[in-house]
Chain A
Amino acid sequence: MATVLLNLMIVAILLSALVILGTRWLRVYIHAYAFQSLTLSLLTGLLAVQTGHGVLYAVAVLTYLVRGLIVPLILLRVTKNPVMEQEMNLFLKVPSSLLIGISLVICAYLVSLRLLGRQGNPFVIGAVAVALALVLIGFFVLSCRSQAVTHVLALLIVENGIFLGSVVLAPGMPLIVELVVLFDILVTVIAMSVMVQIMAIRLGTTSAAELQRLTG
């Protein structure tokens, strides 16, 4: 029963990453990210029950608070700025983005299978595959979307992927490391939001495609 639930959560996490490739509306991205973080914290809670690592309960709660609540709220606030374009102008249209995303997922699954194949726990293989897929999709979004807020979201998806990998592979990870990572996410997001707002005020745009003066 628990395994079925865990697998479902993994699938939900993966799908919420693909949402970002499948739409061009900024607010949808942020909601998808919030949903992904919520699922991630539920998964952590379930793993805490299963593995008996007490630390994971605290990690689950904090993950929800920081990744699921505070960070999306900050980002939603930033996107209220009238300068911000709400609809993405995509270099790469939705179908091709999705196709590339899916091939990244397959690639991640093959790597995971090769790395952990001998242990044979299908849940761990699937979870690590999704974790790697999130990292790859995050980097893909980082390179193919030009809006400043999507850069922030891309980095957050990469972080979510790494977090998923860490709770599945190393559930005993000391709390201090998880704490500082969350603190780091919070500070980075705040710093980037401030930068985005300064850019909006000074440059009148938040599109990173406009940032092309420095070369050579």
Chain B
Amino acid sequence: MVLTALFVIPLVVAIAAVIGRYRRTLEWVVAAGGVGVLVCAVLLLIQVVTAGPVRLLDGFLEVDSLCVFTILTVALVSCTASIYSVGYMRYVLGNSPESQARLHRYHALQALFILTMLVSPALSNLGVYLIGIELTTIMSTFLVSFERAHESLEAGWKYIVIVSAGISLALLGTILLYFAGTPVLGSVYSLDWRTVHAVAPQLDARMVKVIFILILIGYGTKVGLAPMHTWLPDAHSEAPSPVSALLSGALLNTAMFGVLRFYTITAASVGEAYPQALLIIVGLLSMAIASFAIIQQRDEKRLFAYSSVEHMGIIAVGFGFGGTLGVFGGLLHMLNHSLAKSLLFYGAGNVLRKYQTKEIGRITGIIRVMPVTGIVWMLGGLAILGAPPFSLFLSEFAILAAGVGRRLWLPSLIFLGLILIVFVAFFSYLNTMVFGRPPERLSRGELNGWTVAPLVLSFIPVLWLGLYIPHPVQHVLDQVSELLLGEVSP
């Protein structure tokens, strides 16, 4: 029931955007849809935690703990991004009748994008999940190139080509997995992840290793793990800001979900050490490449985009270090990163509209021009860098502790070193942008209420989760950790 509502709400918003006429009504429908999705996701979370997996359409859709956790992160960002998009798009599009039509098209695409991200993780068939991920790409391509400038078209084209190529490798991996299962399950069976997971120990180990590599490259492209991350900075920086937030905070997690599903299958088949080693290598590489790009970055939105690459690396390293602490840290970091990064992109959007530039060197004194944006942005920046008392400190510390606990000295040292490098570089950029003397010609004051509220709404849980993790969230984290650690059979 709640699950149906979760999928119906974005669909209703999309239909309303297509057939609706009135701009004000549409804006309220979009915002209410965002809140509705979040409410449904929280109710679903409570239901799954207390009563176990929820199924729909004869098990075609199945929401277990890992899935509901992913859906929660998507829903959180969808809620704030929907609210933000109302205020932001007013500034991107004017009042002409043509822009009115484009506004409706934008909201229809955004709602469909949210819908595909909510549905994909719930698809229990691994082949169908893959197509769900490809659909998210297609919906978001048009959002990325929505502004239709040279740069945004370039970003959109690179995005769809690189990610589709990656997904085709994931398809190859998925088909090989089916082939690997035929000796055990017969030549015709359903490619349900549960079915495959149950027979994982009997699969050909060599084959499973190849499959995990293909999947890691394939979905890793979508997650933005180096060296397949090249589409990410372009797409994130050229997309309208609410879309950047959705891409970074929600989309990357839905793809990470796929990696984690195959991780459980691989771990059950050939043991944990093999996938963990790969995740650590890819994660540290992502962090390293991102930190070099961050050090010499001139564009604020690309700065945050590379920071997303870094954080996906941190999450991968977390799962790679493994153990209760590592998995817990990785999961919590997925949630924290969604909240904090979307906050930063909302702030970046406000700054872009006010200053009319993305160049870091030309942005100064935000705190005097837009006090609320400036303060929350600064705090959000500190949070994303992992400063206490924010929640990202907790998750990064847990991951580091997991590495040290397993005596993986070198990876832990590199992990810590890269985080420190990013901290210094990122913090100095943030400092010059937020403080200092603002340019004379700028009018003081925020853009409008719609663009400030999402910043504050995202900030509250970032602070709250750092001090105290609410019971249902703690519970779902425990359940997912048990699942990923192979302590319970799914």
CA distance A139 to B131 in the complex (A): 20
In the complex, chain B residues 367-402 whose Cβ is within 8 Å of any chain A Cβ? none
What is the chain A residue whose CB lies nearest that of B178? A170
Interchain residue pairs with CB less than 8 A apart (28): A151-B161, A162-B168, A166-B178, A169-B175, A170-B175, A170-B179, A172-B188, A173-B191, A176-B125, A176-B128, A177-B127, A177-B174, A180-B128, A181-B131, A191-B141, A195-B156, A198-B148, A198-B153, A199-B153, A202-B153, A203-B153, A211-B153, A211-B158, A213-B151, A214-B151, A214-B154, A214-B158, A214-B233
Residues of B within 8 A of A158 (CB): 165, 168
Distance (whole angstroms) from the CB of A44 to the closest CB of chain B: 14
The closest CB in chain B to the CB of A131 belongs to B172
User: With the chains together, A102 CA to B293 CA distance in Å?
Assistant: 37
| Interface residue tally for chain B (C-beta within 8 Å) | 49
- Complex contacts, A18 vs chain B, CB 8 Å: none
User: Is B272 on the interface with A (CB-CB < 8 A)?
Assistant: no
Interchain residue pairs A-B with the least CB separation, the first 8: A172-B187, A177-B127, A172-B188, A211-B154, A180-B131, A214-B234, A166-B175, A191-B138
CA distance A209 to B241 in the complex (A): 27
Stretch touching chain B among A59-67, A74-82, A182-190: A182-190
Specify which of B131, B172, B297, B298 is in contact with A183 (CB 8 Å cutoff).
B131
Number of interface residues of A (CB under 8 A): 40
Contact A142 B165 (CB under 8 A): yes
Residue among B134, B151, B296 with most chain A CB within 10 A? B134
Chain A residues, CB < 8 A from B142:
191, 194-195
- Inside 8 A of B156's CB, which chain A residues have their CB? 195
Nearest-CB residue, chain B, relative to A211 = B154
State how many angstroms separate the Cβ of A135 from the closest Cβ of chain B. 7
Task: List B127-161 residues whose CB lies under 8 Å from chain A.
Answer: 127-128, 130-131, 134-135, 138, 141-142, 145, 148, 150-151, 153-158, 160-161
Query: Taking CB as reference atom, which chain B residue is nearest A148?
Result: B157
Question: Chain B's nearest CB lies how many Å from the CB of A100?
Answer: 18
> Within the complex, what minimum Cβ distance (angstroms) separates B149 from chain A?
8
A31, B151: Cα distance in complex, Å: 32
What's the Cα separation between A183 and B160 when bound, in Å? 16
Q: List the B side residues contacting A194 at CB < 8 Å.
A: 142
Chain B interface residues (CB < 8 Å from chain A): 125, 127-128, 130-131, 134-135, 138, 141-142, 145, 148, 150-151, 153-158, 160-161, 164-165, 168, 171-172, 174-176, 178-179, 182, 186-191, 233-234, 237-238, 293, 296-299, 302
A181 engages B178 (CB within 8 Å):
no
CA distance A139 to B127 in the complex (A): 22
Residues of chain A contacted by B190 (CB below 8 angstroms): 174
Asked if A192 is an interface residue, CB under 8 A from chain B, the answer is: yes
Cβ of A165 under 8 Å from chain B? yes
Q: How distant is the Cα of A53 from the Cα of B179 in the complex, in angstroms?
A: 15
Among A177, A187, A198, A212, the one with the most B-chain Cβ atoms within 10 Å of its Cβ is A177
Compute how far the CA of A213 lies from the CA of B151 in the bound complex, rounded to whole angstroms.
Answer: 7
With A162-B171, A188-B134, A198-B145 as known contacts, state yes or no: A170 contacts B187, CB within 8 Å. Answer: yes
